[in-house]
Amino acid sequence: RRVLVGSMEALDTKQKATLQEYQSLVNAHDIKTSIQILNDCKWNLQVALNTAFEMQLSLGSGGGSASASSALPPAVSTSENKALEAPATLQQRPSASSGLESPTPGSTTPTASSNGQPEAGAEADWTPVNTLMASGMAFLAPVAHRVIPHWVAESQNIHPRAFTQQLKQIYRDLPNFFEGTYLEACRLARTQNRSLFIYIHCQIHEDTEQFINTSLCNQAVRETLNGNFVCWAGSVTQTDTHKLCQRLNIEGYPCVAVINPNRESSRIPAPLHMGLFPPEDMINWLHEVRSKYEQEMKETRRRRTEVKQSSQLREIQDMEYIQALQQDMEREEEEKKKKDLAAVAKMEEKRKKEEVERKQQEELKAAEEEKIKKLEKRKELGDEPAAGPGVVLVVIRLPDGQQIKRRFQEEATFGALFDLIETYELLTPHGEEIEKWVMRSRYPRKKWEDRELTLKGARMGRQALFFVQEDI
């Protein structure tokens, strides 16, 4: 919200904190001018710092006013740059072999040998802090990692395809980034009906190397991105990427975002994450955003389908007249087809009925033959011996509760018992036919399978009790 210029009382707590941070960063003393700049920048600290830089350059070239200069820091001479120190974490320059970011105009970049290392005697003073010094913005050195990406001096604005290819050459395990412009990536995502994953690369940021190696090059993250998203990467030094950062309100690096290319309204903010991102958290975030966008895509497709259907409705109405003229002929043809189908169905029903009767006759005949075969098999067992020495009374209980009692000589084999069982119809307690069965005894507790074994050899005594069970 805008406030009255110079009115500290009208500021809320958040605005007071922003004002204090702005004044401390730019070493400004004029509260009124500082509030005016923040008002114009809608209290966006990043934009205000960029404005301060532009105004400072304007004042340095002879333009501007005295009141505006009181809210800006004095320019720092080249000789004073060497006296200023920045935090150790900011004194890292980009890899000499990357070629992705170029230093500010007028600064010296170290040359690289064939192995990618700086040659002996090469200059090594190009850092984010020195870039600020050379731009007359030494007062922002302590926060270089936050503000320099937006207004770092012009670098080589290479084509997005070349940038992506160079990035892949340096980091071999990156996701499959699309080689082309942002708009081309959006069109591809719409064609494939996928969400667009965006990575904003800032070579001079202290966390970039760690973020790429631990997160983007992580196998699980790479598989998730390649399998569910169209991926695109851009550098903050490229004009189009810089505009995209402003549109997405990106204020920190490294940054990733997910965009729904089919979203009809650009006012809805895109999910984004700035800074380091553990692989597990990144995967969970990607799945959550993808799930959310899937619902949006379904809704978008539904609305587009409705629009398409509405446009087709008029064409359908125009065709109705012609269709009405053809309906009479089609109705007659349909009646003829129905009669033909009815005749065919009647013949098919008759054929099926005859087939059922034939199968029933075959089943009855097969059952009769099976019955005769069982009787013949039972006769093959011979006459039942009378009770006496050397004779064993065998009792066999079937699964449906029936009992088979018969005497056998001690020399009879278990094969004779199995043949006797097969002469009966074996059914479960529910009346279902049993195809596979086994014979067991409780004393001894055993399953009998050897057809050549005799009752005497099995030491069954004068009586033997067996149980037939379904073999499951």
Residue 245 to residue 256: CA distance in whole angstroms: 11
Residue 231 to residue 249: CA distance in whole angstroms: 20
Residue 199 to residue 354: CA distance in whole angstroms: 73
Q: Which of 71-75, 197-201, 304-308, 321-325 has the lowest mean pLDDT?
A: 71-75
Give the pairing of strands 255-259 and 195-201: antiparallel
Does residue 168 share a domain with residue 45? no
Does residue 404 share a domain with residue 295? no
Q: Which residues contact 14 (CB under 8 A, 6 or more apart)?
A: 43
Nearest CA to 451 among 420, 415, 418?
415
CATH code for position 445: 3.10.20.90
Cβ-count burial of 78 within 10 angstroms (0-12 exposed, 13-18 middle, 19+ buried)?
Answer: exposed
The phi-psi region of residue 112 (left if phi > 0; otherwise alpha if psi is between -120 and 50; otherwise beta) is beta
Instruction: Please state, for a pLDDT cut of 70, what percent of the chain lies above it.
Output: 75
Amino acid identity, position 258: V
Final residue in a domain of this structure, among 233, 267, 301: 301
CATH code for position 269: 3.40.30.10
Please give the tally of structural domains in the chain: 3
DSSP 215-260: IIT-HHHHHHHHHHEEEEEEETTSHHHHHHHHHHT--SSSEEEEE-
Q: Residue 312: inside a domain, yes or no?
A: no
Q: Which residues contact 414 (CB under 8 A, 6 or more apart)?
A: 439, 448, 450, 451, 452, 453, 454, 455, 458
Residue 49 has pLDDT above 90, yes or no: no
Domain region containing 179: 160-301
Q: Residue 90: inside a domain, yes or no?
A: no
pLDDT higher for 272 or 69? 272
Q: How far is CA 412 from CA 16, 68, 423, 453, 460, in A?
A: 108, 121, 17, 8, 12
Please state the pTM of the whole predicted model: 0.39
Final residue in a domain of this structure, among 261, 278, 301: 301
Q: How confident is the model at residue 228 (pLDDT cuts 50, 70, 90)?
A: very high
Q: How confident is the model at residue 238 (pLDDT cuts 50, 70, 90)?
A: confident
Residue 3 is predicted with a pLDDT of 52
